[in-house]
Amino acid sequence: MLTRRGLLKLGSVAAASAAVPKQAYSFAAADYTLDIAPYTLEVSPKHSIKTIAYNQQIPGPLLRFKEGQQVTIDVTNHTANEEVVHWHGLFLPPDVDGAMEEGTPMIPAGGSARYTFTPQPSGFRWYHTHTFAGEDLKKGQYSGQHGFLLIEPRDSAAPKAAQHDQEFFLALHDWDGEMTGSSDGSMNPEYRFATINGRVLGFGEPLRVKQGQQALLHILNSSATEPHWIALAGHQFRVIALDGNPVPAPQLVPMLRLAPAERVCAIVEMNNPGVWVLGEVRKHVQEAGLGIVVEYAGHTGGQAGRPAGKPVWQQPQSLLWNYEQFAAADSRVAPSGNIIEVPLVFESKFAGHGAPDHWRINGKSWPDTETVTLVNGQRYRLLFKNKSSDDHPVHLHRHSFELRSLPRNQYIRGIFKDVVLVDANTETHVEFTANNPGATLFHCHQQNHMDEGFMMLFRYA
């Protein structure tokens, strides 16, 4: 059946065809190349997963760009399906942002595309596929198409976010999902494996550190649908940035929570020698593999009194996390000025016990959702009203927004993000300035929610 989304795809393909000749005149070699191709991921010694990956590795290659310095990436699609690469968290024009709904051409099966853009802002970003998966839990964000993107500040003299001796990039991901009924009658995937950088706990290479080091962790949740809570036994995290943007009040916390597509940058002071587990706080998820060993130099064994070689895990008894702890100290100031409020109500629509719920924004599902017209330079306040029993990690393309009101904190400021988790049956308010003209996609980053209509477009007047 040809759906409206299908029609949109056809339009994007036509746009791609039109764009190719112009791009073909550029003979200069690209700065980077990405090959999208089938790949067999060995998540553990006994289990492999057939998926799609960038450059035959999961996560894809770490791309380091310089803020404000034009970069060119050639992408070749070796798969049998159309693909597109979204540069998540960057302020890009819509034709290269990587969402066909905004107008980025799809890369046809067997075809290539050249992405040329000037990356900004600086910080920890990522890139990933932005395609429809539907009932195929091996496509889209369920696959291995994700990679780290680090935009270094244009001013090399600018103060660094934090002094550190080593940095690690960690991607949390879930694999081999199956759609099952949840307690409220809707459907969500359950996963067989969960990994960090494509390996289950104990299979991948440990993070090797030395006593006294400051380790900077760049952590990404690339899962299609699942939030994750992460702790490092024997240590705490000093959170310095959320979604790649420095927070006004860095805090020492015992664990991190990352909703799908969220990133956290945190410093860990390596002051407790031993062999430890950095892993999921929820037992059943860690048992599915989500964890990695942290090994101090000279400590290949366990802690005193523990079996040699056994990494140590200390099980927390609760899940602790909130955004507001990182907000500016003088947050308790009501918003003022010329700000236009845009209420966005999230609801589900029952589609039968044998089908996932449809998702609606202000009563309509994509592609019928209303389009909000923005005026360049205007400040907007988005009022996210989640009237469903699911949490939603909502993402605004091509912009970042400031958290302004959370369920437990009416006024906050200073935290800039591009994804925020709106808890079930709560309200969250964010503000952003419309300063990047062009079609701008807004959607839930949970793949099955996005696929079932949780998307809308902002357009500029």
Q: Which is nearer to other proteins, 315 or 376 (CB)?
A: 315
Under the rule (CB under 8 A), what is the footprint of other proteins?
178, 180-181, 183-185, 187, 192, 229, 281-284, 315-319, 350-355
Distance CA 279, CA 282 (A): 9
Q: Which is nearer to other proteins, 22 or 46 (CB)?
A: 46
Q: Which is nearer to other proteins, 66 or 138 (CB)?
A: 138
Distance CA 75, CA 32 (A): 9
Is 214 exposed, middle or buried, given 0-12, 13-18 or 19+ CB atoms closer than 10 A? middle
Structure token digits, residue 328: 């500016």
CA-closest candidate to residue 141, choices 125, 127, 130 = 130
Distance of closest approach, residue 281 Cβ to other proteins, in angstroms: 5
Is 428 exposed, middle or buried, given 0-12, 13-18 or 19+ CB atoms closer than 10 A? buried
What are the residues whose beta carbons fall under 8 Å from the beta carbon of 408, sequence distance 6 or more?
322, 324
Distance of closest approach, residue 388 Cβ to other proteins, in angstroms: 12
DSSP-derived secondary structure letter, 105: P
Distance of closest approach, residue 64 Cβ to other proteins, in angstroms: 36
Q: Longest Cα pair distance anywhere in the chain, in angstroms?
A: 67
Evaluate whether 259 touches 421 at the Cβ level (below 8 Å). yes
Evaluate whether 341 touches 425 at the Cβ level (below 8 Å). no
Q: Which is nearer to other proteins, 92 or 187 (CB)?
A: 187
Distance of closest approach, residue 384 Cβ to other proteins, in angstroms: 24
Distance of closest approach, residue 351 Cβ to other proteins, in angstroms: 6
Size of the chain, expressed as the number of residues it contains: 461
Q: Which is nearer to other proteins, 307 or 352 (CB)?
A: 352
Q: Which is nearer to other proteins, 5 or 192 (CB)?
A: 192
Residue reference for tokens 């016990």: 353
Q: Which is nearer to other proteins, 251 or 315 (CB)?
A: 315
HEC assignment per residue over 373-394: EECCCCEEEEEEEECCCCCEEE
**Contacts of the segment 30-34: beta carbons below 8 A, 24+ positions apart:** 30/72, 30/73, 30/74, 30/114, 31/71, 31/72, 31/73, 32/61, 32/63, 32/71, 32/72, 32/73, 32/74, 33/73, 33/74, 33/75, 33/76, 34/60, 34/61, 34/73, 34/74, 34/75, 34/76, 34/85
Distance of closest approach, residue 355 Cβ to other proteins, in angstroms: 4
The span from the first CA to the last CA of the chain, in angstroms, equals 34
Distance of closest approach, residue 290 Cβ to other proteins, in angstroms: 13
**Contacts of the segment 155-158: beta carbons below 8 A, 24+ positions apart:** none
Evaluate whether 191 touches 246 at the Cβ level (below 8 Å). no
Q: Which is nearer to other proteins, 216 or 281 (CB)?
A: 281
Residue type, 346: F
Q: Which is nearer to other proteins, 52 or 285 (CB)?
A: 285
Is 190 exposed, middle or buried, given 0-12, 13-18 or 19+ CB atoms closer than 10 A? middle
Distance of closest approach, residue 316 Cβ to other proteins, in angstroms: 6
Distance of closest approach, residue 154 Cβ to other proteins, in angstroms: 42
Please name the helix (run of DSSP H) or strand (run of DSSP E) that holds residue 284, with its range, or none: helix 283-287
Distance of closest approach, residue 184 Cβ to other proteins, in angstroms: 8
Evaluate whether 242 touches 262 at the Cβ level (below 8 Å). yes
Q: Which is nearer to other proteins, 146 or 360 (CB)?
A: 360
Q: Which is nearer to other proteins, 60 or 289 (CB)?
A: 289
- Is 261 in a helix, a strand, or coil? coil
Distance of closest approach, residue 352 Cβ to other proteins, in angstroms: 3
Phi, psi angle pair for 252, to nearest 5°:
-90, 125
Distance of closest approach, residue 148 Cβ to other proteins, in angstroms: 28
Q: Which is nearer to other proteins, 51 or 104 (CB)?
A: 51
